[in-house]
């Protein structure tokens, strides 16, 4: 791994300054054509077809670099995971243009690399816990230990950031033994999936045949990685407790870990239908309304389980989850995830299903687009750019098998972006959730929204509250812990403020609709929708509505 932000910029700058003609940036149409024809594997990127993938990856790095400083976990030729990006981005903090030129990593990259290598065996298919979204939407006030010489107490505002992560579920003993045995044989006897040679003791060798010791060791590294990433909440989308194939438990999950190794995390079981269910969505002419999953199937044994403290503010009757159609279920789960990341200042979130390449990217992509629409992440990206980033990075480079899914009619990928029309309203806005957060200085009665309206009396100008902004207050000798505000005044949050918030929500709707329209147009001209048989009533289906809505024409439904 390396702090590759500056290196990537330098490489791009040197090639541009040399006068060499630069290839045109890959567009969404080119990306979708590649995605629908080829299954991405990191090990295949060195061949002739690898140049297209390299361009896609380079474009993703450039888009991430617009708003963030980042480091890169190197996964060249799939050395860590065969169906993760070759360059896995670790976002560190939001940055201005000036900060990008003086980027200094804030993480121990060697330690993170080591944790990734050690923990990958714990997860199905080696798909380890990987941070993919940096959510920087929380403001906090720090009080220094000492007062200034002028007897002023300075409160500094800082941002608390959270990593939203993705992975596969935990590997079961069948895969775990198979993978560690494979690694042992083909590494010449050096089982680096466990530990470095100097870390292996005689006791380890003696106990390695024990199931308990094996899981303690491997899952212990997984837990260390989760803690390093400050993950507190783990959301499991599986409808099973364990995935069973040929009578063998091939995967497990945190919620059924017998030794309760994950007891210190907040575990949520939010069962969501797998990709097979989305064939029904396609067969219903891409209509998700009224489409309800059959929860009575034999393999479905994971009930919905959410701690009460996470549900009390959502006004959702969770006991009715088996009666929800696909729209309601997806909406309510997204509300839950947004509520979680807004409810805790510095704790991260992990979302996973079984393999982590169907349901997981669905919700990761929806989270990324929803937070972007609110202006909370990727602030400089335009609709076409955020769409390219989430299709390329969240779906293609993390191994979604679009070719296979299309051949089976399991169009969960299309569902994700068509679903944006269902989350444009205020109830899905993270801005709404954040508005009434309280400050530590409760005696003053101010909220974060109020503080953002502060301005200095002596200058009469609005003060920009950056991450290094200091609010200077006179220490009050009359009462401990209270302050007298003499250098600032509060601008009432009246009609002007309210108008600004509605504006924001209207912009959210516009931005998401632009993303959806751009996706539908590109998808129609490249991948194409597979129309179901026309209904006897002659009703206009989604395909015809789409063509009329965006002004496209096609010779047949198969080309749309």
Please identify every residue annotated as catalytic: 353
- Which tokens go with 365? 């992509």
Question: 154: which residues sit within 8 A by CB, 6+ positions away?
Answer: 144, 148, 470, 471, 472, 473
Distance CA 86, CA 75 (A): 4
Q: How far is CA 522 from the centre of its chain?
A: 23
Smallest Cα–Cα separation from 464: which of 451, 445, 478? 451
Please state, in angstroms and rounded to a whole number, the distance separating the CA atoms of residues 271 and 266: 16
| Tokens encoding 358 | 């169907």
Where do we find the tokens 């308990």? Answer: 212
Residue 288: count other Cβ atoms within 10 Å of its Cβ: 19
| CA gap 75, 83 in Å, rounded | 10
Q: How far apart are CA 87 and CA 496, in angstroms?
A: 45
Hey, is 557 helix, strand or coil? Answer: helix
Rounded to whole angstroms, the Cα distance separating 268 from 266 reads 7
Q: How far is CA 332 from the centre of its chain?
A: 17
Spatial separation of the C-alpha atoms in residues 377 and 60, rounded to whole Å: 15
CA 204/CA 394 separation, integer angstroms:
38
**Residue 502 CA from chain centroid, whole number:** 26
How far apart CA 546 and CA 560 sit, in angstroms, is 9
CA angle 367, 370, 372 (to 5 degrees): 105
Exposure string (b/e) for 436-475, b if CB count within 10 Å is 16 or more? ebebebeebebbbebbbbbeeeeeeeeeebeeeeebebee
Give 486-517 as a DSSP string. -SEEEPP--HHHHHHHHHHHHHHHHHHHHHHH
How far from 260 is each of 22, 108, 254, 385, CA to CA, in Å?
54, 29, 8, 42
Tell me the CA distances in angstroms from 256 to 169, 218, 267, one per residue in order.
11, 16, 10
The residue count of the chain comes to 560
Rounded to 10 deg, the angle between the 211-228 and 173-186 helix axes is 90
- Residue 245 in tokens: 């194939």
């Amino acid at each position: 791994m390396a702090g590759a932000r500056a290196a990537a910029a330098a490489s791009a700058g040197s090639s541009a300054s040399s006068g060499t003609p630069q290839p045109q940036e890959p567009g969404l149409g080119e990306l979708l054509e590649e995605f629908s024809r080829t299954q991405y594997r990191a090990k295949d990127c060195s061949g002739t077809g690898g140049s297209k993938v390299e361009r896609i990856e380079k474009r993703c790095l450039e888009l991430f670099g617009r708003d963030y400083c980042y480091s890169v976990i190197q996964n060249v030729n799939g050395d860590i995971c065969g169906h993760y990006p070759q360059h896995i981005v670790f976002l560190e903090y939001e940055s201005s243009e000036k900060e990008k030129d003086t980027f200094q990593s804030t993480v121990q990259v060697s330690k993170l690399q080591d944790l990734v290598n050690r923990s990958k065996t714990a997860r199905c298919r080696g798909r380890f816990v990987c941070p993919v979204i940096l959510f920087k939407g929380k403001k906090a006030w720090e009080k220094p230990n000492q007062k200034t010489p002028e007897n002023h107490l300075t409160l500094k505002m800082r941002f608390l950031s959270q990593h939203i992560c993705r992975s596969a579920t935990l590997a079961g003993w069948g895969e775990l033994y198979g993978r560690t045995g494979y690694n042992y044989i083909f590494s010449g006897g050096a089982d680096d999936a466990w530990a470095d040679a100097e870390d292996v003791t005689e006791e380890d060798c003696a106990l390695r045949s024990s199931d308990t010791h094996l899981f303690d060791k491997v899952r212990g590294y997984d837990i260390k990685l989760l803690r390093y990433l400050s993950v507190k909440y783990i959301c499991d989308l599986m409808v099973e407790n364990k995935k069973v194939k040929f009578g063998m438990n091939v995967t497990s999950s945190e919620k059924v870990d017998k030794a309760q190794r994950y007891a210190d995390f907040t575990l949520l079981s939010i069962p969501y239908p797998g990709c097979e269910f989305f064939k029904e969505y396609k067969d219903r002419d891409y209509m998700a309304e009224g489409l309800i999953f059959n929860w009575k199937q034999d393999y479905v044994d994971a009930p919905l389980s959410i701690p009460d403290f996470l549900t009390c503010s959502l006004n959702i009757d969770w006991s009715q989850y088996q009666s929800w159609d696909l729209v309601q279920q997806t909406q309510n789960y997204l509300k839950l995830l947004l509520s979680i990341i807004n409810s805790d200042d510095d704790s991260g979130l992990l979302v996973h299903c079984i393999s982590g390449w169907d349901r997981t990217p669905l919700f990761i992509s929806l989270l990324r687009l929803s937070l972007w629409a609110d202006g909370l992440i990727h602030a400089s990206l335009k609709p076409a750019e955020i769409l390219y980033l989430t299709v390329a990075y969240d779906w293609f480079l993390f191994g979604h098998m679009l070719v296979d899914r299309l051949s089976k009619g399991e169009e969960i990928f299309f569902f994700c972006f068509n679903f944006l029309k269902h989350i444009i309203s205020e109830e899905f806005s993270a801005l709404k959730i954040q508005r009434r957060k309280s400050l530590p200085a409760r005696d003053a009665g101010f909220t974060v929204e109020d503080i953002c309206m502060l301005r200095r009396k002596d200058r009469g100008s609005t003060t920009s509250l950056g991450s290094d902004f200091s609010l200077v207050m006179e220490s009050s000798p009359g009462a401990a812990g209270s302050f007298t505000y003499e250098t600032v005044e509060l601008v009432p949050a009246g009609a002007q403020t309210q108008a600004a918030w509605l504006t924001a929500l209207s912009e959210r709707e516009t931005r998401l609709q632009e993303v959806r329209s751009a996706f539908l147009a590109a998808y129609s001209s490249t991948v194409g929708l597979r129309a179901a048989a026309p209904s006897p009533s002659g009703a206009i289906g989604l395909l015809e509505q789409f063509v009329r809505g965006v002004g496209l024409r096609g010779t047949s439904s198969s080309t749309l």
